[in-house]
Structure 1
Amino acid sequence: MILSRLPAPRAIRRARLAVASVVLASAALLAPAGALAQGMSSDPTLAQTLFEEGRRLMEAKAYAEACPKLAESQRLRPGTGTLLNLALCNEALGKTATAWGQFKEALFASKKEGNAAREAFAQEHISALEPRLSKILLKAESTPGLLVRVDGHDIPAAALGTPIPIDPGAHEVEATASGYSVWSTTVQVGESADLKAIAVPKLQPAPPAQTAAAPPGPAAGGAGSAGLAGGSSARGGGGEGLRTAGFVIGGAGAAVLGVGAVFGILAAGQASDAEKDPALCPDKQCTSRGRKEIDAAETKALVSTIGFGVGVAAIGAGAILVLTSGRSGAEGASATSASAPGRVHARVVPLIGPEGGGVSVLGAF
């Protein structure tokens, strides 16, 4: 047996620091609602309560009510047992593709845990479901910047032309691209071993936007007055654009902050569990399996650190864009008439390094 010194304290400290930083930043930015959500999202009592209620509803064959409770329990406190029950619930509901994917995930987790009974159980259901899986095959004509979605979920370009398992029922397929009209259709997928092929046509260019004519200026002002009015209007539009971009970037930053918190919690738990497991790290000396667990925890901690940095910086950048977009129309007109460089120009650039990441706002304000 190969043993190595356990560097778990470093991994655990990094993970715990990332989690603490995210929690403090979230409390400062989103309190009190953020603090309440953080407390509830890690409540093992609530997770256990939902699991037991979900199991009770499954025994009563109330699967439509049971599945959401099991799904929330799994979100609050992920576990292979809960995941297997959730897969069974979705299988009973007829969501064959969803159940198949969850059994696959449970199979991988059971192998990692060394639980042969759960591994065999998951494999049995996977083998039974696979011949019944219905699938959708998406083919698309070439359109620059094409994005295909199914029920609002993005489909990677690499998946086009490949049969994708999908739950039976009605599904909305949508294709979009910048500067082109949206194309969509609804497809009805059968319950067992159905294959639906959808051909997405080449998108048509969007019709030119109808622009309202500017009101005529005073007779004495002539063309010069009309030009000034147009410049003022463009200035106002630029401010609205920056404000919208600020809110979008800030919202994305909050989402990334949440991802960083999740990875930090996972990292801290995985490293701590490995350190305490006598089969993985007896007497603080790690076996090769224990070393892999610690390495995986350090990777999650790094993702957490990057997510935290990017999230906080994006929220700050969004706030800057919103604040700098608030100039009055008179000030904008004055700046425009004085010199063209008076406009606000800004862009957000992501920064990712080996030990962390963030975003930077470049431009003139």
Structure 2
Amino acid sequence: MILSRLPAPRAIRRARLAIASVVLASAALLAPAGALAQGMSSDPTLAQTLFEEGRRLMEAKAYAEACPKLAESQRLRPGTGTLLNLALCNEALGRTATAWGQFKEALFASKKEGNAAREAFAQEHINALEPRLSKIVLKAEGTPGLLVRVDGHDIPAAALGTPIPIDPGAHEVEATASGYSVWSTTVQVGESADLKTIAVPKLQPAPPAQTAAAPSGPAAGVAGSAGSAGSAGSAGGGGGEGLRTAGFVIGGAGAAVLGVGAVFGILAAGQASDAEKDPALCPGKQCTPLGRKEIDAAETKALVSTIGIGVGVAAIGAGAILVLTSGRPRAEGASAAGAKPGAPGRVHARVVPLLGPEGGGVSVLGAF
């Protein structure tokens, strides 16, 4: 066996630097709650606690309570052992397709880790589940821009016409396309080896929007005056509306990228640290080829984290500048032109970036 000297763990240093950057960015962007949530959700102690509680509930055959705890433990700190237990839990609940997919994922992870016992265990359950899998086949007519969803999840166009494993029970199928009416149906899937075919018809064009008739008489004069004032407001504030919208879009995208960077930083730190401490991978700080691969993979995640955080912070800053420099909202301009302070329709709002363990976003705070 060839051993290589474990260098200064660059992946750990990069990951820690990335996470520190997230904390600093959170403080600068008024998101202390996000920083607090991040510290909680990345806590390995919480993941272990949820895992042990999930195992205890499984032993008591309380599978409906156990599965969510195991799923959250896996989200907080992914591991092949936790994934196998989650698959067993879903299998016990009769969620055959979900369990089959999780056993498949655990099988690939076990092969990568070189764990023959877990690999054999996962394969055994896969072989037992496959003959029992129920499936649906979605067939759709040629509606331009058609999007098909099952239980709110998008189905790629390439998957149409292909048998898709699905858990037994009732499922909602919906088809939409721009300019067309929505079509939906409910399908009941049997418990074992059931096959349901759902034919999505060609969607019907959506009816044209109803336009309100213009009022006549004195009321029409009032409406006309209001319309003129609205036009004047648009002429003066159209550019501001565009800047404000662009600021929301850019800031929201930046927050999402920042969240992805934070997640990769946490994963990198955990993977590199685990490899360094594992006597089978890096005994006495001397890494085996497999240990070296783990360190290299962690360094890649750390690099992605650093880039994501930098891009995210820049985008959030640019979005905030656009919002702050876009001028007063249209409703506020109308109030200044004649409406009384506090009258209905006046809007006061500000944008607050939010950072958290599962990503980021933009929140609008104010009175409407």
TM-score bracket, normalised by the shorter chain, equals 0.7 to 0.9
SS of structure 1 residue aligned to 2:220: coil
Distance in structure 2 (CA, Å) of the matches to 1:30 and 1:362: 13
Residue 184 of structure 1 and its aligned partner are, at CA, apart by: 1.5
Query: Is the Cα–Cα contact under 8 Å of residues 255 and 360 in structure 2 kept in the other structure?
Result: no
1:167 and 1:33, CA in 2 relative to 1: closer, same or farther beyond 3 A?
Answer: same
Task: Answer with 339-348 or 27-36: which moved more.
Answer: 339-348
Residue 179 of structure 1 and its aligned partner are, at CA, apart by: 2.4
Distance in structure 2 (CA, Å) of the matches to 1:234 and 1:66: 59
Residue 319 (structure 2) pairs with residue 318 (structure 1): yes
1:252 and 1:181, CA in 2 relative to 1: closer, same or farther beyond 3 A?
Answer: farther
Query: Is the Cα–Cα contact under 8 Å of residues 255 and 361 in structure 2 kept in the other structure?
Result: no
Residue 125 of structure 1 and its aligned partner are, at CA, apart by: 0.6
Query: Is the Cα–Cα contact under 8 Å of residues 354 and 363 in structure 2 kept in the other structure?
Result: yes
Residue 97 of structure 1 and its aligned partner are, at CA, apart by: 0.8
Query: Is the Cα–Cα contact under 8 Å of residues 309 and 357 in structure 1 kept in the other structure?
Result: no
Residue 55 of structure 1 and its aligned partner are, at CA, apart by: 1.5
SS of structure 2 residue aligned to 1:342: coil
SS of structure 2 residue aligned to 1:263: helix
Q: How big is each residue's C-alpha offset from its partner over 1:315-349, in whole Å with a ceiling of 9 and x where there is no partner?
A: 33443454455535499799999999999999999
Residue 31 of structure 1 and its aligned partner are, at CA, apart by: 3.5
2:336 matched residue in structure 1: 335
Q: How big is each residue's C-alpha offset from its partner over 1:225-263, in whole Å with a ceiling of 9 and x where there is no partner?
A: 898557346877886676566546544543432222111
Query: Is the Cα–Cα contact under 8 Å of residues 217 and 226 in structure 1 kept in the other structure?
Result: no
Task: Answer with 226-235 or 85-94: which moved more.
Answer: 226-235
Task: Answer with 345-354 or 124-133: which moved more.
Answer: 345-354
Distance in structure 1 (CA, Å) of the matches to 2:83 and 2:51: 10
Query: Is the Cα–Cα contact under 8 Å of residues 243 and 323 in structure 2 kept in the other structure?
Result: yes
2:56 matched residue in structure 1: 56
1:148 and 1:109, CA in 2 relative to 1: closer, same or farther beyond 3 A?
Answer: same
Residue 59 of structure 1 and its aligned partner are, at CA, apart by: 1.4
Residue 192 of structure 1 and its aligned partner are, at CA, apart by: 0.8
Query: Is the Cα–Cα contact under 8 Å of residues 306 and 355 in structure 1 kept in the other structure?
Result: no
1:41 and 1:101, CA in 2 relative to 1: closer, same or farther beyond 3 A?
Answer: same
Size of the alignment, in residue pairs? 365
Distance in structure 1 (CA, Å) of the matches to 2:112 and 2:176: 40
Query: Is the Cα–Cα contact under 8 Å of residues 264 and 301 in structure 2 kept in the other structure?
Result: yes
Normalising by structure 1, what TM-score? Answer: 0.78
Q: How big is each residue's C-alpha offset from its partner over 1:200-241, in whole Å with a ceiling of 9 and x where there is no partner?
A: 222222222233456689999999989855734687788667
Residue 311 of structure 1 and its aligned partner are, at CA, apart by: 3.1
1:324 and 1:11, CA in 2 relative to 1: closer, same or farther beyond 3 A?
Answer: same
Task: Answer with 290-299 or 2-11: which moved more.
Answer: 2-11
Distance in structure 1 (CA, Å) of the matches to 2:4 and 2:271: 18
Task: Answer with 248-257 or 85-94: which moved more.
Answer: 248-257
Gap runs ≥5 in structure 1: none
Q: How big is each residue's C-alpha offset from its partner over 1:269-311, in whole Å with a ceiling of 9 and x where there is no partner?
A: 2233334545545676655433432332233223323432343
Distance in structure 1 (CA, Å) of the matches to 2:269 and 2:77: 14
Query: Is the Cα–Cα contact under 8 Å of residues 180 and 206 in structure 1 kept in the other structure?
Result: yes
Q: How big is each residue's C-alpha offset from its partner over 1:116-159, in whole Å with a ceiling of 9 and x where there is no partner?
A: 11111111111101111111212222333322211111222222
Query: Is the Cα–Cα contact under 8 Å of residues 255 and 353 in structure 2 kept in the other structure?
Result: no
Query: Is the Cα–Cα contact under 8 Å of residues 258 and 360 in structure 2 kept in the other structure?
Result: no
Query: Is the Cα–Cα contact under 8 Å of residues 8 and 271 in structure 1 kept in the other structure?
Result: no
